[in-house]
Amino acid sequence: MSTSGSEQAAHDIVAAMADAWNAHDAHAFAAIFAWNSDFTNVFGMSTHGREEIERFHRPLFETMFKESRLAAIQTQVRQIRPDVAAVDLHWEMSGARDPSGNQWPSRRGLMNLLITREQEGWAIMVMHNMELPSDGVADAQAQLQARHQ
């Protein structure tokens, strides 16, 4: 498959992820993962396999994320092999509640995805999600690095 094929697959996966998240549908969310995939959230909690990913997300979509909205802001794709691509997805979220039930301010983060072409099509094999700082720390580091280049 060409690079443009994996790039289109990545964009399709990202769109399906946002749609499933915004519908608060754990089954649809898990369906974009390979059967033997790995998932790690922003708290460092991990689960393995499509069924476990669905089971992990179901109570979250019924509680802390039931009114959340996920937006895919920027997607970058790097072809590794014809059947493997790395995807960086910058995201923003609103309407979530923290694990204690308190309103969570707007959030932004980065998902690193490894997608693979499986028999049934492209799917997420590995996903690591992280929240990005919102207090200017990243901008300060970028300025520091720029001064020392």
Q: Is the pLDDT of residue 2 over 50?
A: no
Single pTM value for the model: 0.89
Say how far apart CA 63 and CA 98 lie, in whole Å.
10
Q: What is the pLDDT of residues 96-145, one digit of tens each?
A: 999 999 999 899 999 999 999 988 899 999 999 999 987 777 778 888 88
Cα four-point dihedral sign 52, 93, 24, 124: negative
Of 17, 24, 43, residue with least CA distance to 99: 43
DSSP H/E element including 82: none
The number of domains in the chain is 1
Residue range of the domain that includes 63: 3-147
- Strand, coil or helix: 39: strand
- Strand, coil or helix: 15: helix
CATH number at 110 reads: 3.10.450.50
Return the pLDDT at 143: 85
Q: What is the pLDDT of residues 56-80, one digit of tens each?
A: 999 999 999 999 999 999 999 999 9
